[in-house]
Chain A
């Protein structure tokens, strides 16, 4: 039940971000320079006269650039902007993909900003959907990589003790002690000047995943260390069970709980790690959005004080983390 709910929820979120090309009303890089930091626009069904409309609509926003207010926008209740469904995108100039079908949109020159805009007047809602692609999948893949490494190395260390244990645990301490994120700028030097979107993505996954195995491996080792002296493990060995069989059948299942909790924790950490990596030129580069980059914008005092909608990516992360948490919970109990 729980398991189904968690899986379904996660699948839904991933489908949403994968469908960004259809669900997002705008190109994530499209700038509306006359609408910087526009607040979210609410959708209405009932107008000021109390008339009900079947087609949802929004009110136009008027920008007052000379105003000193934090959010210099005014809602113009006399101008209704009706929302249309299944529209063709009309991108202006640049590399836009005009002619693509979108779920909803408004007739230009009006704009619909469901989650407001950023400093370039880019639609936050569209950026959130497109940005989820990079962040969610990079977080997931990197976590899988870290856990796989952690499981194998931690399992080996715990099971064989002595020399492998010393070497692996030494290496893990090394990996944990090094301030990786800050040392990785050395890596950038060996890469070509410009990295394409795919290259950046796999680089991100690789770097985060490869540097993060140490903690899970230590936790796995701790569990394995105690598991291998349990009576039934000793007994199984007495019956001539092979090392591999013992590991697979008895010991690794024990480590599962720890690993799943780790997974639920690593994904959030990895999604946020991208913020720092972008700083070193190893992340997703502008103008492509990612949830990490969007959160990084929030880490400025003037944004924090004035533009609350810039936290959209943070809010979007909460259900993701909860669902992973629930999934870990459910998987831990099911076997």
Chain B
């Protein structure tokens, strides 16, 4: 087990390395750089732009830039934001925490909903309730995330049940600890809902499909024939076997959450990595992008690692390897 985890860890480091290199390359190959936008300002001369480019090292080649960056990372410095004129890590730290709060809540919520929902749909397979469930999930799939977020905001505005964006009320600072928590949860509700609405159909379809597969298997049919009660059958025999693809999916979903939440954060003015990353990409604030992507990769790698360990624990056949 220990050896397995260790080998996975080195593997993860390699992935992080590859991701940083690719992100760098893509950004360097993309047309334009941070100072390009100044060209449209008639009050700044091209000479000035060139001087700024040189001062910030944007005139260096890709390998040189990358090596310098790796060196600075080894010294614990993730790079420098051109836009903010400050190191990247402090910028990222606060926002990463907000994003994690949002996405982990949504992940937890969506799985808590998806597993019973999917099991229930599989149990009533072919019945009209199963069809209604398919209709609901298919409809959710047909609505882009941004539209879901915007519609939820419009709903919040109409009903007044939820705040129309942001993470805190302006009055939050003067409140007591309990009230502040309530305020946070209240603000968290809509973005979490929007994220869940995006994740749910995928998860429900997977849960349902995995369960159907197992329910159809000969050993379950046999067990059913032997008169094992359905509840016991489900928990003792069906779920453990069906868990395998779901665990893989769980690992994957941690990593893709960030890209999923990016636009929702932007629409709902959630102060996470999303708005920062989006702007950094559009402005070519290279080091911010690289650091944010690394952050996201770290989530993903951790998620996959977790999933692999879980697979080990749950599925004895893999442990036998």
Contacts and interface: CB of A to CB of B under 8 A. Distances in A.
Direct contact of A and B (CB under 8 A): yes
Contacts of A325: 134, 137-138, 205
Contact of B150 (A179, A230, A304): A304
A54 interface: no
A265 B202 contact: yes
B30 A218 contact: no
A173 B150 contact: no
A206 interface: no
A219 B249 contact: yes
A333 B202 CA distance: 20
Contact of A321 (B141, B151, B248, B249): B141
Given A173-B297, A176-B256, A305-B154, A333 B249 contact: no
Nearest to A273: B144
Q: Please indicate which of the listed interface residues A169, A176, A295 has the most CB atoms of chain B within 10 Å of its own CB.
A: A176
Chain A, interface SS category: helix
Given A177-B297, A219-B249, A332-B209, A272 B154 contact: no
A98 interface: no
Interface in A195-214: none
A219 B248 contact: yes
Given A174-B19, A177-B297, A179-B259, A218 B252 contact: yes
Contact of A333 (B216, B244, B259): B216
Interface residues of B, number: 62
Interface in B138-190: 138-139, 141-144, 146-147, 150-151, 154
B29 interface: yes
A317 interface: yes
A261 B206 contact: yes
B23 A333 contact: no
Given A186-B26, A257-B209, A328-B209, A318 B138 contact: yes
B230 interface: no
A219 B142 contact: no
Interface string A305-322: 100000000110110011
Contacts of A315: 142
B36 to A, nearest CB: 13
Contact of A261 (B15, B205, B320, B321): B205
A139 to B, nearest CB: 12
A230 B216 contact: no
Contact of A318 (B19, B139, B251, B320): B139
Interface string A248-261: 00000000011011
Nearest to B141: A268
A332 B317 contact: no
A292 to B, nearest CB: 8
Interface in A294-310: 295-296, 298-299, 301, 304-305
B39 to A, nearest CB: 17
A237 to B, nearest CB: 14
Q: Please indicate which of the listed interface residues B31, B141, B206, B245 has the most CB atoms of chain A within 10 Å of its own CB.
A: B141
A272 B260 CA distance: 13
A190 B25 CA distance: 14
Nearest to B294: A177
A268 B142 contact: yes
Contacts of B245: 219, 222-223, 258
A275 interface: yes
B95 to A, nearest CB: 15
Q: Please indicate which of the listed interface residues A295, A315, A328 has the most CB atoms of chain B within 10 Å of its own CB.
A: A295
A275 B12 CA distance: 32
Contacts of A260: 209
Interface in B188-205: 201-202, 205
Interface in B105-152: 134-135, 137-139, 141-144, 146-147, 150-151
Nearest to B135: A322
B19 A177 contact: yes
Contacts of A226: 244, 315, 317-318
A189 B29 CA distance: 8
Nearest to A165: B11
Interface in B259-279: 259, 262, 277-278
B281 interface: yes
B18 interface: yes
Given A178-B22, A183-B23, A268-B142, A173 B300 contact: yes
Given A166-B11, A174-B22, A328-B209, A301 B154 contact: yes
Contacts of A268: 138, 141-142
B147 A298 contact: yes
29 contacts: A173-B255, A173-B304, A174-B18, A176-B300, A177-B15, A177-B19, A177-B255, A177-B297, A178-B22, A179-B281, A179-B296, A183-B23, A183-B30, A185-B31, A219-B245, A257-B210, A257-B212, A261-B205, A261-B209, A265-B141, A272-B144, A298-B147, A299-B150, A301-B154, A304-B150, A317-B142, A325-B138, A328-B209, A332-B209
Interface of A: 161, 166, 169-170, 173-174, 176-179, 181-183, 185-186, 188-190, 215, 218-219, 221-223, 225-226, 229-230, 257-258, 260-261, 264-265, 268-269, 272, 275, 295-296, 298-299, 301, 304-305, 314-315, 317-318, 321-322, 325-326, 328-329, 332-333
Top-8 shortest CB links A-B: A177-B297, A317-B142, A222-B248, A321-B138, A261-B209, A229-B317, A186-B30, A183-B26
